[in-house]
Chains A and B, each alone.
Chain A
Amino acid sequence: MNLTISDRSIREIYKFVERHGVQELVCAELKITIPLVGLSIVFFQPERYDESIVCYFDFGNDVAFFFGDVFSAIEGEKDAQQAIIKEHRINADTLKRNDDYIHHVLEYCEKNFDLLTSVPPCWFQRAARIADAATRETFPDLADDDMRRKQQLWESWRK
């Protein structure tokens, strides 16, 4: 796994897994995946040299949302994103930052478990728009592809 996290985070993850009857925790190099029904919560280290971790919700087939985008979609964009970024901005103690981040994410997932795992998720369309706005300016081609995949998944739920 090799993520820069302490036993505290490992315990929190396992508690979460136990509470929600997750059968198998998937640990890979620089990545840990908690599979739920319909989506997975993934913690991973996106950069090579920077050990700060990020969380995303993965629906498979290249449909995924950063935790921050989902959080903003549910809580409102105005302050939510800022709160997350500021609270978990990279600082001198990456280990503590990562532990705090995992704690924050799992606590939020615990409180909003039904909302997050509902099908179709009520936050999905809004989070898609937030993610699209973050990508489109720099990579319009990738934003188009991403939105198309998300719409396909959304439509499959609506049928």
Chain B
Amino acid sequence: MAQGGQSGLTSAIQAANTANGVDTFNRQLHPAEVQVIKDKARDFAKALYATDKPTEQQMAQAQAYLVYAALADVDNIQMRANVLIGLPKDDQYIAAKQFLATQKDTFVNESGQTQRVFTTKGNDFYEPFKYANNNGNQAYRDFFWESVGINLPLPSNASAAEKQLYLEREIQRFKQDVKNALPGLVTGAVLTGVGRIASKANGGPTTRATQEGVKSPTTSASSAGDTLVTNNFYRDGEISPQSLSTSSKIVIRANPEKTTTVLGTYVDDTGNIIDKQLGYPKSLNYLEPKKGGFNLLNTPDELYTALGPDRFWKEVNEPFLKTAIDRGDDIYLATKPTALNTRNPNNSDGLSGFGREYKYLSDRGYVYDSTSGNMCYQGCKK
């Protein structure tokens, strides 16, 4: 099988990993999960490319998608990296996720429990070194190198031959990066990959990553990646809007000196703001300041699925609000709170997600001003 580092997909992921601070010490796949991917890659390639005889390249690509989809299933950091470059919008990636979801093989985990492949138990999803001990296995390292071009770090007791092989792969990786960097873009090799994949995901030839690169020849992969998610350039290649229209008819303007946090119901406002007005990316940087820009909670769906409603509220939504308060953000409600939209009979506490947010702020002394849509501590000054 061809070394995965040659593919656009792999370049893109490596770019995202670099940009997102992912190193090779994040949660690894269990060997049983690796075996399932090896065993089922041909089946997946057949289905993906609708052929009985997938080519070697199709096999390589299919396996690479499976590996990255599998890693995102078990590892928070890799999931972030995938989201960063828009992989969840890639049909082939979605197909890989669906394919993995149908796999019913099991393995015995470190706690002696039987666990279904590509699932997590307990805090696995956030445990960075889980199964990293498998890096000591040469076949395991070969699998990641050959399928996705990841050169896993060596154990401390690696032999001289293993060190030599590791070094050769590092050199090969470096050469590939340089090769990618030469045609066209002046940024970093990895950004070429990001551009390719993001372009596919967004359905357009112009991407944020490539534009960043053109603007700043010295932009490093990581700084471009950070810019992708923290600045106000919500939508590819367009200047970010500085005001938002809302269902309450109030126009919310970004405070150039502060982060402007916006809350509301998804059906009435935040869905529209995120998708149509801002093109706001799904991200896990919801605690970061966005000075001069808008701050909305827009995490990947996988996070909610992994945590469930109660933990999502406690571990994501509450910290999001607390951080906004602590930072002194301007906080606006895009949706006017009413007795109806703050309730949800489906929820155990009878409150909607928006209702919980409104309660959280009200309980801490914030008062809604229906004229401005602002929620101010102890009421807004007239």
Q: When A and B form their complex, what is the total count of cross-chain residue pairs whose Cβ atoms lie within 8 Å?
A: 77
Also in contact, A30 and B343, with CB within 8 A (given A50-B309, A134-B350, A139-B337):
no
**Is B93 positioned at the interface, with any CB of A under 8 Å from its CB?**
no
State A49–B317 Cα separation when bound (angstroms): 13
* Cβ contact within 8 Å between B266 and A145: no
Judge whether B78 is part of the interface by a CB distance below 8 angstroms. Answer: no
Contact A49 B345 (CB under 8 A): no
Q: Nearest A residue to B272 by beta-carbon distance?
A: A29
Supply 20 further A-B pairs (C-beta < 8 A) apart from A62-B338, A139-B358: A29-B267, A47-B266, A47-B352, A48-B271, A49-B309, A49-B312, A52-B346, A54-B344, A56-B340, A62-B340, A66-B340, A134-B350, A135-B339, A138-B342, A138-B355, A139-B355, A142-B339, A143-B339, A145-B338, A146-B338
Residues of A close to B351: CB separation below 8 A: 138
Q: Are A66 and B271 in contact (CB under 8 A)?
A: no
B359 engages A138 (CB within 8 Å): yes
The answer to whether A29 and B271 touch across the interface, beta carbons within 8 angstroms, is: yes
CB distance from B283 to the nearest CB of A (A): 15
Residues from chain B with Cβ under 8 Å of A139 in the complex? 337, 339, 342, 355, 358-359, 362
B147 contacts A by Cβ under 8 Å: no
Residues of A with C-beta under 8 A to B271: 29-30, 48
Please tell me which one of the listed residues B312, B338, B353 contacts residue A142 in the complex, with CB atoms under 8 A apart. Answer: B338
User: Chain B interface: which size bin?
Assistant: 20 to 34
Is the Cβ of B352 less than 8 Å from the Cβ of A48?
Answer: no
A29–B274 Cα distance when bound, in Å, is 14
A31 at the interface (CB under 8 A from B): yes
Are the C-beta atoms of B359 and A64 separated by less than 8 Å?
no
**Closest partner residue, chain A, to B346 (CB atom):** A52
Residue among A44, A50, A66, A88 facing the most chain B CB atoms (10 A cut-off): A50
**Is B107 part of the contact surface with A, judged by Cβ < 8 Å?**
no
